[in-house]
């Protein structure tokens, strides 16, 4: 449940930025400045530290509250939560924009 909460917080933070960048992306894509693949790879790499930081804050607070112990288990859980948040945010973002708008 915590991963879903963090995902939607991340998604709501990225959505206004993405909608503002969309016109510039379409303009630069139409002029064939760069490939769409590299744009999405770049935006993914930029967002990874943000997702890792937010999930680290979440895990640092709630991991001891639940009663878990152990540093190795903490970092394993934190890394898994970070990857889940990143994947869920991108799946929601991919579902948000209609396909016919993307392929004009």
| pLDDT tens-place string over residues 55-101 | 788 888 888 888 878 888 888 888 888 888 777 777 777 676 655 55
Give the integer Cα–Cα distance in Å for 58 and 60. 6
- Average pLDDT, rounded, for the chain: 76
Give the integer Cα–Cα distance in Å for 42 and 84. 19
For the cut 70, the answer to whether the pLDDT of residue 1 exceeds it is: no
Helix (H/G/I), strand (E/B), else coil: 43: helix
Domain boundaries, the chain: 2-102
Give the integer Cα–Cα distance in Å for 59 and 42. 26
The predicted model scores a pTM of 0.52
Give the integer Cα–Cα distance in Å for 58 and 75. 12
Using an 8 Å Cβ cutoff, are 91 and 10 in contact?
no
């Amino acid at each position: 449940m915590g991963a879903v909460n963090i995902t939607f917080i991340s998604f709501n933070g990225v959505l206004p930025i993405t909608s503002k960048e969309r016109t510039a992306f379409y303009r630069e894509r139409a002029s064939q400045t760069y490939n769409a693949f590299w744009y999405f790879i770049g935006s993914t790499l930029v967002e990874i530290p943000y997702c890792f930081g937010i999930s680290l804050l979440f895990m640092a607070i709630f991991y001891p509250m639940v009663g878990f112990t152990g540093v190795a288990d903490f970092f394993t859980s934190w890394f898994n939560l970070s990857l889940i948040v990143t994947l869920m945010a991108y799946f929601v973002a991919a579902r948000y924009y209609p396909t016919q708008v993307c392929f004009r």
